[in-house]
Structure 1
Amino acid sequence: MHANIPFSTSRLDGLLDDAGIDVLIVTSKHNIQYLLGGYYHFQFDYMEAIGISRYLPIFVYVKGELDKSAYIANRNERDSVQNRTGAGYWMPPVVFGSSTSVEAMTLALGHIKAIATPTLRVGAELSFLPADAADVLRRERPDCPLVEAMRPLEKLRSIKTAAELGILREASERVVASMMDAASRTRAGQSKREIIDHLRHAELSRDMIFEYALVTMGTSLNRAPSEQRLAPGDIVSLDSGGNYKGYIGDLCRMAVHGTPDGELVDLLDEIDLIQQAARAPIRAGLDGCEIYAAATEALARSPHGKQMHFVAHGMGIVSHEAPRLTASGPIPYPADDANAPLEAGMVISIETTLPHPRRGFIKLEDTIAVTPDGYQAFGDDARGWNRIPA
């Protein structure tokens, strides 16, 4: 087996077996990137529409038979693939020639017909499968039951390798450093859009892709970009997602123009107590729901606990990926992993928010990696009140 295969074939085979999938048709950008070790054709990094259709790369994986895998590539993708394989990275056999989603699926099915038995249970990512490509799949293989493949692929990604953990640590540290850079450049009178622009440039200067910033200012609880201007003494919440080598650094830190008063110090300390309580029990083997149990107990003791919001969710290539620990968070999904033990290599974002009606939006969000006997916090700096120069 090629030494550079970027995922565990045995783990994937077991997950597909559990899901009742014989052959996998992968069409989402994030899973293509994951299964090909970070590769995605550069021409479509930002926009997948072209001509009358869209770029649709497809990775075909036959359970237990890696040698029958194939990557269905756009006809303009030869140079990218050549650079990738020339640098020694693993690639399955590549089928070039697609320029539309229908052509891509037709080529994928032609490959499956050539290498597999007629009746198969096909796993597909239904949220990431264009309707016209799905029509081709159903029309050409009416004998093949279609199975949702999101969950096995999500579980495959949930256990990070040492290399992935290193990237996530770096992503987290770079996001926090960018926030501090943005705070140092911010002045009274600047708009929220200008502050976000400071953060964007700070992340870009650190070789990141700026994805988003949720920013509040003063007593407002509105986190969208606007022309609201920073007044003397205002607090600022910086919650940003920056992408580094395909992985998301997603953290939140607080800043204040001038010097925080005693009440602000106490409120942020109160939030930090919840954060510390939630992370304290984390280790491999702990049921995921115990993170919520620890946070709930701390919230019950907190003076503002009834006004606070706590959430814990998986992190990696996708925000809010497995482990999924709650069915009542801000992003709707089932709590499939709440009663399952955490595993070393999982990465969890924990966040506590206090939307204070008089002082404003106060929040901390931290990135925690599960280890065999505890946890590691990534980008764990600047968790107090960071100063915006007066």
Structure 2
Amino acid sequence: MDIPFKTHHLDELMAAEGIDALLVTSKHNVQYLLGGHRFFWFDYMDAVGVSRYLPVVVYFRGAPEASCFVGNAMEGFQIENEPVWVPRIKAEAWGVRDAMEFALEAVRERLGTRARLGIEPSFLPIDALPVLESRGSYDLADAEFLLERLRACKNETELELVEQASDRTVDAILDVFGQLEPGMTKRDAVERLRLAEVERGLIFEYCLVSAGSNFNRAASDDRLEEGDVICLDSGGNYRGYIGDLARMGVLGAPDAELEEALAEIDAVQQAAREVIVAGALGREVIAAGDARAAQSPFSDKLAYVTHGMGLISHEAPRITASGPVPYPDTDADSPLQPGMVLSVETTLWHERRGFIKLEDTVIVTEGGYRAVGDVGRGWNVCGQGANRLVTA
């Protein structure tokens, strides 16, 4: 089988950090390195017995043929039906300690008991550390940033998954807008969206929902009323890749005030999107959106951000340090590259009308960008099915 990532790129990243082997334990990076494999039994939670599921990909710098995958004792069934490229499979673990024991067996066989191992500290349970410490004199290095660099530019297969995730998520949102009526609850809206996403082959991850003038974005028994604006901001997962978009609905016809508010949000979105192209610096995208937001009559109530996304909702490229999720702007002064995926989002906290937001997904190309799931960006009139949708 073909290896689904560029091994020479990974080897170069590892060499720059002096890392001899990787012990990859996050679900998203395990999936990435294995070309899409994600064990269905632990899709929703990791706890089992007195421990937890811990998949481990062991990758040796310069020797992908020596790689090993440690999985759960039930995981062999899935791998038998959907093989992975890794030549050595150890699907026998039931917890953290035995998974780490199996992984270190592969390390000792090739590198002995002294090596520099790259780990993912945020995704390595603390009870793995005694096993690491007792099985050799290993120098541990944080490899999370390195692995994110590897994933930064998506290949064509990944981009197709991002597009499918985005298209299906927006289609589900628009379907639900068509179902909403006064008297339903915010919880009803979220449940209908969950069903709509599942019907479209997505894993429903979340929905942030707001209605009326209340800025609260959690599901509740608050009832929808005629004239309410409704924001559905949802993450639908398609084969591991996230479709994270926000669209607006209204129970009734949008009036001039609402049209103006959404037009201002869209103007910020378009200002940011217009400068997205391979070669543009990350900070230029942020500056373009910020400049247009500053010109808006709602400037003191607007929030704009652009961030990278893919397997997770905030990943490389990291082009701002002032977004809602805190991290350094590592890529602010680096050129965007083809295959990077960006989420562009602008929010207005309108004191009378409530929470109004657009969130779009765009793929960086040589000549600009390609937007995916790029429908329903106007006001969607709720109720009576899709015939009442008046989206752009």
- Classify the TM-score, shorter chain: over 0.9
Deviation string 1:268-303 (CA, Å, 9 cap, x unpaired) is: 000000000001011111111111110111112111
Query: What is the aligned counterpart of 2:9 among 4, 11, 35?
Result: 11
C-alpha deviations, 1:27-83, integer Å up to 9, x for none? 111111111111122211112111111111110000111111101122222212211
Are residues 1:281 and 2:279 paired? no
TM alignment of 1:185-204, pairs within 5 A? 185-204=179-198
Measure how far apart 1:84 and its partner are.
1.7
1:230 counterpart = 2:221: no
The size of the alignment, in residue pairs, is 384
For 1:65, the equivalent position in structure 2 comes to 63
Q: Which residue of 2 aligns with 1:102?
A: 97
Counterparts of residues 265-276 of structure 1 (less than 5 Å): 265-276=259-270
Structure 2 residue corresponding to 1:173, chosen from 163, 167, 172? 167
Deviation at 1:139, TM superposition (A): 2.7
Deviations 1:122-161 (A, max 9, x none): 10000000111122112322x3211001001111111101
TM-score normalised by L of structure 2: 0.96
CA distance in structure 1 between the aligned counterparts of 2:381 and 2:247, rounded to whole angstroms: 11
Q: Which residues of structure 1 form unaligned runs of 5+? A: none
CA contact (8 A) 2:319 2:331 kept: yes
**Structure 1 position 146 matched with structure 2 position 146:** no
1:1-390 equivalences in 2 (<5 Å): 2=1, 4-85=2-83, 89-141=84-136, 143-389=137-383
Instruction: Tell me if the contact between 2:172 and 2:196 (Cα under 8 Å) persists in the aligned partners.
Output: yes
* Residue-by-residue CA offset, 1:345-382 (whole Å, 9 max, x unaligned): 00000100001111110100000100012100011101
Is the Cα contact below 8 Å between 2:65 and 2:86 reproduced in 1? no
CA separation in 1, counterparts of 2:371 and 2:185? Answer: 32
Opposite residue 104 of structure 1, the aligned amino acid is: A
Letter in 2 for 1:21: I
State the identity %.
Answer: 49
Distance in 2, matches of 1:106 and 1:175, equals 40
Deviation at 1:15, TM superposition (A): 1.4
Q: Which amino acid aligns with 2:88?
A: P
SS of residue matched to 1:145: strand
Determine the C-alpha separation between the residues in 1 that align with 2:76 and 2:245: 37
Name the aligned partner's letter for residue 57 of structure 2. Answer: F
DSSP 3-state at the match of 2:321:
coil
Instruction: Kindly provide the amino acid, as one letter, of the partner of residue 32 in structure 1.
Output: V
Cα distance in 2, alignment partners of residues 28 and 92 from structure 1? 20
Question: Aligned with 2:69: secondary structure?
Answer: strand
Mapped to 1, the partners of 2:124 and 2:81 lie a distance apart of 28
Native 8 Å contact 2:132 2:138 kept in 1: no
User: 2:336 is paired with a residue of what secondary structure?
Assistant: coil
* RMSD, aligned CA: 1.2
Q: Are the counterparts in 1 of residues 245 and 361 from structure 2 also a CA contact under 8 Å?
A: yes
Q: Partner amino acid for 2:85?
A: W
The SS at the match of 2:254 is coil
Q: C-alpha separation between the residues in 2 aligned to 1:149 and 1:342?
A: 22
Distance 1:387 1:21 in 2: 55
Separation (CA, whole Å) in 1 of partners of 2:348 and 2:379: 15
Give the Cα–Cα distance (whole angstroms) in 1 for the partners of residues 89 and 383 of structure 2.
Answer: 55
Match in the other structure for 2:387? none
**Separation in 2, partners of 1:208, 1:342:** 29
The answer for unaligned runs of 5 or more in structure 2 is 385-392
Distance 1:118 1:138 in 2: 10
AA partner of residue 235 (structure 1): V
- The letter of the residue matching 1:336 is T
- Deviates most, 188-197 or 296-305: 296-305
What is the CA distance between 1:117 and its match in structure 2? 4.6
- In the superposition, the TM-score normalised over structure 1's length comes to 0.96
- Cα distance between partner residues in 2 of 1:77 and 1:8: 26
Deviation string 1:280-336 (CA, Å, 9 cap, x unpaired) is 011111111111110111112111122100111111111101111111211111111
| Cα distance in 2, alignment partners of residues 169 and 185 from structure 1 | 25
Supply the AA of the counterpart residue of 2:167. E
Deviation for aligned residue 1:190? 0.4
What residue identity is the alignment partner of 1:196? V
Q: Distance in 1 between matches of 2:28 and 2:158?
A: 14
- The amino acid that maps onto 2:110 is I
